[in-house]
Structure 1
Amino acid sequence: MEYRTEEEQVAALKQWWKDNGNSLIIGIGLALAVVFGWKMYQQNVENTKNAASVLYQQLLEVALGPNATTESQASVSFIANKLKTEYQDTEYATFAAMFLAKNAIAEKDLDSAATELRWILDKNPETSLTPLVKARLARVLDRLGNQQEALALLDTKSAGTYTALYLEIKGDIYHRAGDNEQAKASYLEAYKAMKESGVQRPMLSLKMADLGISEEGA
């Protein structure tokens, strides 16, 4: 439509603003809210990660520092549990739980170790550390006498670069259970997976030799 006079153009603009102005303002407001909301969310995530990182650094300093003592373990547990409760969605909470599990294994407290490793899988079931956590939990469960549960964790379809490790642990479980045939089969598969991936597993050769498996015939 062409307007013959400037007055008609101004009148048309006023009418358009009357019809659409509120919607335009609301749309701009919503767009700005989304942008600023996203930026605030990203900043909050970054702040949370930074705070968790500082706590985890404190944990390492207390646990591994030159002044570390047996009494330091109470502080380590306190910091680790703080990470797990207040920063459970960060990778540092996973690191803290793995640290607690490692300490529990060293103290032969396998039940506590299993609890920490299960916590990781429950809270963060799909992370880059998941295959490693499953491997460690399988070893702990084997020591606790839960062989079937341990073997169920060692699904090589989702193991990725941990395939050789999973198969080796399977062999260990079968060997400890006295099933040498299954142990041999698992070790042979582990050896083949190791060769294909190029990942070195020095102990595997010793375990194979202990069962009379020759690397040349593998």
Structure 2
Amino acid sequence: MASHLDLEEQEQLEQVKAFWKRWGNAITWLLTLALVAYAGWTGWNYWQRQQAAKAAAMFTELERAAQAGDAGKATAVFGNLKTEYGSTGYAAQAALIAAKLQLDKGKADEARATLTWAVDGAKGDAYRDLARLRLAALQMDAKQYDEAGKTLDGVKNADFAPLLADRRGDLALLQNKPDQARTEFKKAYDAMDKQLDYRRLLQVKLASLGVAVGDDETPGAAQ
């Protein structure tokens, strides 16, 4: 019996040897690749977390500068943030904050440049569309009407449809197209949440064009 078991074990051993001889290298390579991939994935996640933490710290610094009204420091911090961590959502948010502060300080050119970067390179479609809406307003202020129209054409997020229509109405007015302006302002008014105070501004815009609207009345043209 012992001899029979020895022979059987020997047979199995020979089969294992033959299998390993044929497939051993392939299995080793597969295991190596799997370990490398796992190590790479783990390292990438760690790097991403580190990047996000550093970007968050820089963003907090920019927020403090904005709260203090220090446009120079905010612009400098934003410059570092977009250079080092431009692919993070923090950079996109920082661009919007920095641009507002720059505009408040009368630095419209810097604000346009900041928003242009956000439109071209910020992470997140919503941030880019919000930057487009703000950039278009600055372009209109600078009488860059064709550029403003092209900028507005890039807004695709349905959540911004009312604001987009409002901006298009402003642009139509500046281009002496009152009929188009009425249409756009009315579109914005109808689409905007009734709880928002911004609707009152749209009422004023429509009234200036001869259209009376109200939350509790049937919209219609003023006589």
Is the contact between residue 119 and residue 129 of structure 2 (CA under 8 Å) also seen in structure 1?
no
The alpha carbon displacement at 1:109 in A equals 2.4
The alpha carbon displacement at 1:48 in A equals 0.3
Matched, 1:52 2:55: yes
Aligned with 1:154: secondary structure?
A: helix
Matched, 1:37 2:26: no
Which residue identity is paired with 1:59?
L
Structure 2 CA distance for partners of 1:144 and 1:164, relative to 1, 3 Å: same
The alpha carbon displacement at 1:110 in A equals 2.0
Partner of 2:19: 16
Matched, 1:61 2:55: no
Partner of 2:87: 89
The alpha carbon displacement at 1:212 in A equals 1.6
Is the contact between residue 101 and residue 113 of structure 1 (CA under 8 Å) also seen in structure 2?
yes
The alpha carbon displacement at 1:57 in A equals 0.7
Q: Which runs of 5+ in 2 are unaligned?
A: 1-6
Aligned with 1:158: secondary structure?
A: coil
User: Which piece of structure 1 moves more, 31-40 or 168-177?
Assistant: 168-177
The alpha carbon displacement at 1:21 in A equals 1.3
The alpha carbon displacement at 1:199 in A equals 6.8
Partner of 1:213: 211
So what's the TM-score if we normalise by structure 2? Answer: 0.85
Partner of 1:170: 168
Give 1:133's match in structure 2, choosing from 107, 113, 131: 131
Matched, 1:181 2:176: no
User: Which piece of structure 1 moves more, 128-137 or 83-92?
Assistant: 128-137
Is the contact between residue 129 and residue 154 of structure 2 (CA under 8 Å) also seen in structure 1?
no
The alpha carbon displacement at 1:125 in A equals 6.8
User: Which piece of structure 1 moves more, 132-141 or 168-177?
Assistant: 168-177
Is the contact between residue 52 and residue 87 of structure 1 (CA under 8 Å) also seen in structure 2?
yes
- Residues 88-110 of structure 1, C-alpha deviations (whole Å, 9 max, x = no match): 10111112222221122112322
Q: Which runs of 5+ in 1 are unaligned?
A: none
Identity %: 27
Which residue identity is paired with 2:103?
I
Aligned with 1:178: secondary structure?
A: coil
So what's the TM-score if we normalise by structure 1? Answer: 0.87
Cα distance in 2 for partners of 1:159, 1:116 equals 21
The alpha carbon displacement at 1:126 in A equals 4.9
Structure 2 CA distance for partners of 1:142 and 1:199, relative to 1, 3 Å: farther
Which residue identity is paired with 2:120?
D
User: Which piece of structure 1 moves more, 170-179 or 153-162?
Assistant: 153-162
Is the contact between residue 156 and residue 167 of structure 1 (CA under 8 Å) also seen in structure 2?
no
- Residues 160-216 of structure 1, C-alpha deviations (whole Å, 9 max, x = no match): 11111111111112223332222112112222222xx65733311111112221113
Cα distance in 1 for partners of 2:154, 2:195 equals 15
Which residue identity is paired with 1:39?
T
Aligned with 2:212: secondary structure?
A: coil
Cα distance in 1 for partners of 2:15, 2:182 equals 87
Cα distance in 1 for partners of 2:140, 2:124 equals 23
User: Which piece of structure 1 moves more, 204-213 or 83-92?
Assistant: 204-213
Cα distance in 2 for partners of 1:103, 1:186 equals 29
Aligned with 1:145: secondary structure?
A: coil
Partner of 1:6: 9
The alpha carbon displacement at 1:157 in A equals 7.4
